[in-house]
Structure 1
Amino acid sequence: MNHPTVVRNLRIWLPMLAGTAIYAFGIHFFLIPNQFMEGGLTGIALLLNYTLDIPPSYTTLILNIPLFYVGWRYFGGRTMLYTVVCTIALSVFLWLMERCIRLGWIVPFQTEHDFFLATLYAGVTIGTGLGLVFRFGGTTGGVDIIARIVNKKRGLSMGQIILMIDVLVIGSSYFYIAGEMILYTLVMVFISSRIIDFIQEGAYAAKAFTIITDHPEEISKKIGQELDRGATLFHAKGSYTKQAKEVVYCVVYRNEVRRMRILVRAIDPRAFMIVHDVQDVMGEGFKPE
């Protein structure tokens, strides 16, 4: 295996393994000590831990085995290889966390009063872990596999799918844990779903400008000179005036939005500008393919 291939594989595997470690840490450091729930098979594993004192390091792997076959049919060998490895890694990291807590090397964050603080940090930790795993093509099994199937078939974001499934699973735990903890858990799940979407889709968020102006050449030239950005010109026609127009389209980073607005207004104060949110930008000047 040559050096570029090794580097490319490390850039994929290391973030996914780091994500599973963060996820396992969040479960043992925030969720279990405060009797929070989770969705999917992890939620079932937590219920078994709360009611029967079965460690989640075992149940998460056992419950996921039937889903490996389903995932293999939909995603093929490479993606399921990521899933199987991440699921096993999650069980290993959960086991390591259990050992560290038992030996006193890690003291879980347990609170009797400020549950909202625990909820906030649990959501950020869980979302960060899962977001890293998803961004680099893996899953931790369970509803992650179902979410990827629905995402592939219907185009819904994985954060939204997981949120819907988690609400159903967490709601069913009403008879096993305190209702107050379920409400805190729902807040935690919502926060984690937002973090998942941000890491998976919005880490490179930018802004796109659509500018309708009488000075398209001058504006596009100035954009190149002052912002070092390229611009695209589209031919258009006003529906009311029937006059031919050229529309300037340009994508910039968020911290360049103010400079862009000032630049356009200085050349054409009457320019019509539309600013769009852009979640992912690939190409020259932004992240590579």
Structure 2
Amino acid sequence: MTFPKVSIAIITYNQKDFLGECIESCLAQDYENFEIVIADDGSTDGTKEVILRYAAQYPTLIKPVLAAKNSGISVNCNNAWRACSGEWIKTIAGDDKLKPQCLSLFVAQAAKDEGTCDAYFSHMTTFDKNGAVNEVRLDDFFFGLSDEGRLKFALYKNPLPAPTCFIKKSALQDVGFADVDFMMLEDYPLWFKLLESKKKISAIDASTIFYRVGFGVSNGAEKICNIWYVRSLHLFRVKKLWPHLHGWSLLKKLDDLAYFYQNSIGYKFLGNQRGWAHSALVLLMAPLRLFSFLLLSKRVFAWVIRSTTLR
């Protein structure tokens, strides 16, 4: 069994209250050959001071990458990944936590596969401010598909949970890192590029991280959405996914447009607050989002994938 160097890339922006927990979870790994790269996207809440304090305490282990201004998560991820010196990169948000066996579970799986994979994903454990815990498993349906089937899957849904990803730095370099055109969406476009490039993706049958819910990029517990995330997702769909859609699958375009305008209207006219008005808006848009509701059935989704012809 080999023990490759793993770079833990912590991605932060205004996460002062949670970052210490994240760093401590990285330091507590039961695997020794790793470094920690912490990339901050121009925080203004004291996050940088937390980073510098830990970097001073662990100067040979922690490498800070501090941006002078906020540029979005895709740029911040690229800054972190380019600074990593490990063969493999484990990315984590600054408000999440690694489980103590996170790296060792990954290394054991990579050794079993004899270095044939380019990226791994695992199950994860979610938690919220009230202490509620939930286990979220990988989609077995996706991992049971052929390479072509996985690419078709990605036309309709984001197939992989970003918080659980391990990826070879060489694979990131091959596909050109995250696409900065989508400033608040670093993961979905990257998975699509990996699948288009026929990189080998595999699963770790274990939960490796604690993922904090209610404080994410896409939305919070009370807000309708992060409008910049919604705009990045829509731009990605229009530029990268829509060109592959034709025939009956054009219904997906209508669904995407309904999602975009539902969130845009909620953001602009409802003060970005959930409530009865937002619930009424969702209900009004529901007929236009029939495609998404149909895809909730795995039998229907399997038929959609089988009948899709890639352009």
TM-score (norm 2): 0.24
* More helix as a share of residues: 1
* More strand as a share of residues: 2
- If you compute each CA radius of gyration, which structure gives the higher value, 1 or 2? 1
TM-score (norm 1): 0.25
